[in-house]
A and B are shown apart, each in its own frame.
Chain A
Amino acid sequence: MFRYFRLKKDVQPAQTLPGTLSGELLARDAISPIAIRQINTLPDNTKRRIYRGLLPPAVLVRFQIDPLTWESKNGISAMELYAEPGSGVAKVAIQDPQDREDELLTLEIQDNAFDGIDLNLIVLGDPQAVRFAIDRDERGKPTMFGTLGRNFKEEQKAMEAGLAPGQVRKGLGGSQVVLDQLESFLAALGQRAYFLEPLTYVSAWVFEKRGFAYVRGHKLMENIQHEFQPGGALFQALDGSTAFRSPAHWSTVRGRAWAIHDGILEAIDARWDKLRMVKQIGRHAGVETFPDAVY
């Protein structure tokens, strides 16, 4: 028999275990995926036990937080869990003790439309590092990491201090450890992959190194690499017209990221928009759109 493959017209989401989580439901099989929404219907203490698996204990200890109680050494609750019943979102965050509005560490995951899970946000900031106010414009309005508005002065200072677009303070490093832990957590939920939308060129580059492939945007990343080579359209657009478009920026990940944040992709009639990446649990895709890159 000849198998003719045609495009599916209606894509059906994966079948999560139906209904409210219970011991009986979990006993039915060990493979079907579990949704965040289902976990969020559980009692608070049960949710804390489960979501404790989201972060590596060693990272919490680095923030001087007890990995079981989530308290600082002063006995104050230092990590917050946001997992409202009825919501498909789970977020853990460590507040900056100097500024309760600020978060030093954030990890947020969410059910997506196809019974998969998106990593919405991962922030790992160095609590000792200087803070740059790129998250508020000059009138004090939120910039959403520079996506809704910009604070050019603070961005330039951040850039000169070695930060990437969207960073308010230097990163702690250790994203590999956090992502490995997240994968173990998601595997326990029966998920075979998770997804994210990279905020910046640096994010996309980091996630490539962590084994992500592209659902959308691989061609754009290849084009960016090609056009930043000497003679390319992006290379030529690094004309020094702003601090973010320095001619030297073609050769580094961070330099390119600042130029892209500054809108340089208009030179190739493109936007940093709608990229989507996927990480298959336990697999490394080996994508390297910027070979031998210098950060």
Chain B
Amino acid sequence: MEGMAVKHQITRSAELQSLAGFRELIDQACDQEPAFDDQTRYDLKLAVDEACSNIILHGYAAMDPGSIIVSIEIGQDAARVTITDFGHPFEPVEIEPPTREAGPEAILDDLGLFFIHESADLIDYQSSPAGNCLYLVKYLPKADHENPFQ
């Protein structure tokens, strides 16, 4: 149906070997949307890769790893990515952003999260006994941003 979002999804084990598959999902979704330029596509892949790396290395630490579900829905104005896992939940802590003047060493430990924030336009995180969900929104170039969640 014209105008409806197209959804792609994969579920893989929470291992580093799965990262390439998650990036490939983003590539496959972006291949079907001509409005995605190379930078937008890369930003999405980077945000997903960094988030999944975090889940693999910390969320499922000291556990026999479970699943990570990555889905991407491409609408007329934005791509919406949902990353679901069932490991230890994270909690968001608000801190002052690292500045470039502080130098890369200052953000080295948080570099992954830094890039998630730089790559995604909107981020939300919800944790419940049904799983942990990270929501990322990336606007398409020159999209109308008035209603980002529609």
Interface set of A (CB-CB < 8 Å, partner B): 1-8, 11, 13-14, 114-116, 191-193, 213-222, 274-276, 278, 280-281, 285-287
A192 contact set on B, CB distance < 8 A: 128-130
Interface-facing stretch out of B30-38, B39-47, B58-66, B140-148: B58-66
Asked if residues A8 and B90 are in contact (CB atoms below 8 Å), the reply is yes
Provide the residues of chain A in CB contact with B98, threshold 8 Å: 2
Q: A2-B114, A278-B86, A285-B67 are contacts. A213–B128 as well, Cβ < 8 Å?
A: no
Q: Which residues of B contact A278 (CB under 8 A)?
A: 66, 86, 130-131
CB distance from A66 to the nearest CB of B (A): 35
User: Cα distance A191–B128 when bound, in Å?
Assistant: 11
Q: Check B2 for interface membership: any CB of A closer than 8 A.
A: no
Given A1-B94, A11-B88, are A287 and B66 also a contact pair (CB < 8 Å)? no
Task: Check A5 against B92 for contact (C-beta < 8 Å).
Answer: yes
Contact A3 B130, beta carbon cutoff 8 Å: no
> Apart from A1-B95, A278-B86, what are 17 other A-B pairs with CB-CB below 8 Å?
A2-B94, A2-B95, A3-B123, A6-B90, A6-B91, A14-B129, A115-B129, A191-B130, A213-B11, A213-B84, A214-B13, A214-B67, A215-B66, A218-B65, A280-B84, A281-B130, A285-B69
Assess the B130–A193 pair: CB atoms within 8 A.
yes
B14-A218 in contact (CB<8A): yes
- Chain A residues positioned under 8 Å from B125 (CB to CB): 3, 5
Residues of chain B in range 110-139 having any CB-CB distance to chain A below 8 Å: 110, 113-114, 117, 123, 125, 127-131
B86–A213 CB distance below 8 A: yes
- Chain B residue numbers with a CB within 8 Å of A8 are 88-91, 127
Docked-complex contact B97 and A1, CB < 8 angstroms: yes
| B15 at interface by CB-CB < 8 Å | yes
Q: For the complex formed, measure the closest distance between the CB of B96 and the CB atoms of chain A, giving whole angstroms.
A: 7
**Chain B CB within 10 Å — which of A8, A216, A274, A280 has the most?**
A216
Interface CB pairs A-B, < 8 A, 16: A2-B98, A4-B93, A13-B129, A14-B128, A114-B129, A213-B67, A215-B66, A215-B86, A215-B87, A217-B64, A217-B66, A218-B12, A219-B13, A219-B64, A220-B64, A275-B64
Complex Cα distance, B8 from A78, in Å, reads 46
Query: B91 and A5: CB pair below 8 A?
Result: yes
